[in-house]
A and B are shown apart, each in its own frame.
Chain A
Amino acid sequence: MNAGLIAIILGVGPAFAAYYLTAIGHGLFEKSGILNLAIDGVFTVGVAVAYVAALFAGTAVAGSVAALVVAVAFGLLIAYLATKLPISHGAIGLSIMFVGYGLAALIAVPIRSQINAVVSYPMNVGVDIAFIIFSIVIGVLVHYMLSRTKLGAAIRAAGENPHAASSLGVNVLRVRLIAGMLGYALIGLGASFYFLAYTPAPYSEGMGMGQGWIAFAISLSAGRHPILTILSALVFAELLYNKFVLQGYLGLSVHITKMIPYLAALVAMVIFMVTPLKRKLAPPRALGKIYFKEERTV
């Protein structure tokens, strides 16, 4: 194999890391029983924060850290509201998505119009490999945590039947706050990699919008399983990373190549639902259900 081909194969690293981390973060949060529809809004905010923070600190790592911190704040807010109050998970998620779209523009657009520079991660094969290894290690850790530890058992219990979990001594609120924190930390990290490593271009309004939904579909089509998500994230990342190849070889219009990931997202969700995968990797039973005891302390 020649070096050029290796570069093309490994060049998918940053895109893979961005989508994979976002998808497993989303899956981890949903395992705790909270329907996560705010993902795209927070992803968009994460991109904006990563851009601004990296620019001001002069290093891309600062951008990732800032995006992580901001995303965690959103995750804690969503987990708290959806667990403590009898409100619709869908409604709070979508509302926060809109807030996110708006805030992202407020954060990044004024800066962009004054400073014409981008700070990003270095781009070379070594960095690409580092991104792949880093994200897979995180994925394995998440899988281990969910399937082998007490915390993981508590998260899954909160997602399957929070009332039963609660009577067995699980503090549902605390568990969901932890899941929200960890899940959104990964979503923030993924958003920062999306901008700082995969598409480091001068910021334009709406950057990252829609990518959260692709991560949503990546996670759903792998049944929220961190290890299986490696496969679905890789397929999507290759599809996105090689969109210019698709354009060139197949002679597709640029608008159609931009549409393909979204079509693939729909197809992936259908495939998951019509195959036995659905039964083997069923969604958490209490996903999106309001958790409310008749009278309770806030």
Chain B
Amino acid sequence: MRLIVTKRVKPLKFGGIIIPFLSIIVGIFLATIALYGLARVPPLLVYGAIGQSLISPQMLQTFVMLTILGVALIIPFNAAVWNIGAEGQIIWGMIMSAFIGLTVAVRYIIVSPSDLPKYTNMPGMFVLPTPTVSGAYAVEALSMNPGAAICLMLIVAGIAGAVWALIAGLMRAYLDIDEVATTLIMNYIAYYAYNYIVYGPLQGITISTSGFGLSNALHPALRFSRISTATTATWEGVALMIAIFVIAWFVLRQTTFGLRLRILGSNPQVLRAAGINVRKYIVLALTISGAIAGLVGTILFAGNLYQLIKIKTITTPPTHNIGYTAILVSWLSMLDIRGVPIAAYIVASLFQAGINLQSSLGGVSGGSAMISSGALTYVLIGFVLTTFTVLRVFAEYSIKVVREGR
């Protein structure tokens, strides 16, 4: 018996839908085997966590961020430029949002405990919960219009993400250094830079934050507004998601720029023959991607966390590895932007499932409760990705079984 791989004349009908779904089912199945075999996590607990997260309102914020990141990654991926550095770009977006929100947009008034009652109910004032080292209290007062401050946060975060990606883009375009390696290595640099900053320039001024790897908390007027109390998703985040999705769809599908990006992915020789500067497109694809990822940094900081918190271990950055998870979103969408929201919904459920599963592991004996939600998410997305990478072959190739005579 032999197996024969042949290229299909036409791609598999509905392959863009069947293959992702099949991969998700098979991948989850393999992940549960690994979870049970290595850490005695009951499969029912895994399925329960996934089922629960499919309808959980908590996953909405993850969905919003993953849709934006999926769009951010699909732009360079269409050009066969692999931005694996969304993590680092988000981190820089967070750092720069915090820089604007905690230093430029507010000023700190130091008041003695006896004067504090005057400030607690004053509009526009935000009293930091614990006193400063000297025993006095710090009050954040807005020094600019909050709307303008939020816009500034987004702009600066976008620029920060873009610059971080630009470095890898230039290295790829002009020195031919593999961008997968550089963007990944730069994620680690961003993580340590972040830790340096939360222990240094942006460390808090109160006794519970200074030197503890925490920044001050963001002024409530600069925080994004939650859609409801049941979810961490924000109106600003949803608005950004829709705007970015529509613009990116238009650019990728309706402009020559988008067309050239896609040709760069499939046949760069054609572009070179047409006299188009291929390097410029490589750099632009990465820079745009980084800019969008940087915006996610603001959504995370001003929408969810309100504070920079140190990275204790490298598996648990404040991003919860969402920049890596987004790779799965853009691959599952088969690099078609219309598929991004659907893929983001499914992956957001898997992502939330990692968190839900972690919290339900408490009752499981054998120490598996100590496994972080980040690692559980890695198991789920890793197996789905691997299955998808292999099964994807079937969209364009058919595999036949031939029985040998005899």
Contacts and interface: CB of A to CB of B under 8 A. Distances in A.
Contacts of B3: 297-298
A104 B327 CA distance: 21
A255 B196 contact: yes
B185 A110 contact: no
A85 B367 CA distance: 39
B345 interface: no
Interface in A129-176: none
Contact of A94 (B196, B199, B313, B385): B385
Nearest to A96: B386
A280 interface: no
Interface string B174-189: 0111001110111011
Contacts of A102: 31, 34, 375-380, 382-383
A279 interface: no
Interface in A77-92: 81, 85-88, 90-92
B130 interface: no
A91 B331 contact: yes
Contacts of A266: 171, 182, 185-186, 189
Interface stretch (A15-23, A55-63, A212-220): A212-220
Contacts of B184: 40, 213
Nearest to B377: A102
B98 to A, nearest CB: 16
Interface stretch (B67-75, B107-115, B390-398): B390-398
A174 to B, nearest CB: 17
A265 B393 contact: no
Contacts, number: 187
A253 B200 contact: yes
B2 interface: yes
A88 B316 CA distance: 29
Interface string A185-204: 00000000000000000001
Contacts of B251: none
Nearest to B2: A297
Contacts of B369: 113
Interface stretch (A117-125, A226-234, A267-275): A267-275
B189 A110 contact: no
A87 B38 CA distance: 29
A282 to B, nearest CB: 11
Contact of B390 (A87, A217, A255): A87
A8 interface: no
A255 B198 CA distance: 10
A70 B380 CA distance: 20
Interface in A224-282: 253, 255-256, 258-259, 262-263, 265-266, 269-270, 273-274
Interface in A89-129: 90-92, 94-107, 109-114
B192 interface: yes
Contact of A217 (B4, B185, B200, B399): B185
B225 interface: no
B125 interface: no
B275 interface: no
Interface in B294-317: 313-316
B324 interface: yes
A110 B39 contact: yes
Given A94-B327, A298-B3, A270 B175 contact: yes
A284 to B, nearest CB: 13
A198 to B, nearest CB: 17
Contact of B386 (A92, A110, A210): A92
A110 B370 contact: yes
A237 to B, nearest CB: 17
Contacts of A273: 175-177
B5 A86 contact: yes
Contact of A269 (B5, B182, B199): B182
Nearest to B315: A206
Contact of A87 (B182, B186, B392): B392
Interface in B337-395: 366-372, 375-383, 385-386, 388-390, 392-393
A225 B177 CA distance: 18
A88 to B, nearest CB: 7
A217 B182 CA distance: 9
B267 interface: no
B253 interface: no
Contacts of B39: 106, 109-110
A103 B379 contact: yes
A81 B393 CA distance: 11
Which of B4, B84, B315, B381 has the most chain A CB atoms inside 10 A of its CB? B315
B184 to A, nearest CB: 6
Interface in B11-59: 31, 34-35, 38-40
B7 interface: yes
A106 B371 contact: yes
Which of A91, A99, A114, A292 has the most chain B CB atoms inside 10 A of its CB? A99
Contacts of B392: 87
Contact of A206 (B35, B314, B380, B388): B314
Which of B38, B316, B327, B392 has the most chain A CB atoms inside 10 A of its CB? B38
B6 interface: yes
Which of A96, A205, A298 has the most chain B CB atoms inside 10 A of its CB? A205
Nearest to A77: B386
A99 B379 contact: yes
Contacts of A100: 382
Which of B84, B331, B367, B386 has the most chain A CB atoms inside 10 A of its CB? B386
Nearest to A41: B382
User: Which 8 pairs, one residue from A and one from B, show the smallest C-beta to C-beta distance?
Assistant: A102-B379, A105-B375, A98-B382, A102-B378, A113-B367, A99-B382, A206-B315, A110-B367
7 contacts: A95-B382, A105-B315, A109-B39, A205-B371, A262-B188, A266-B185, A298-B4
Interface of A: 37, 40-41, 81, 85-88, 90-92, 94-107, 109-114, 204-206, 209-210, 213, 216-217, 220, 253, 255-256, 258-259, 262-263, 265-266, 269-270, 273-274, 292, 294-298
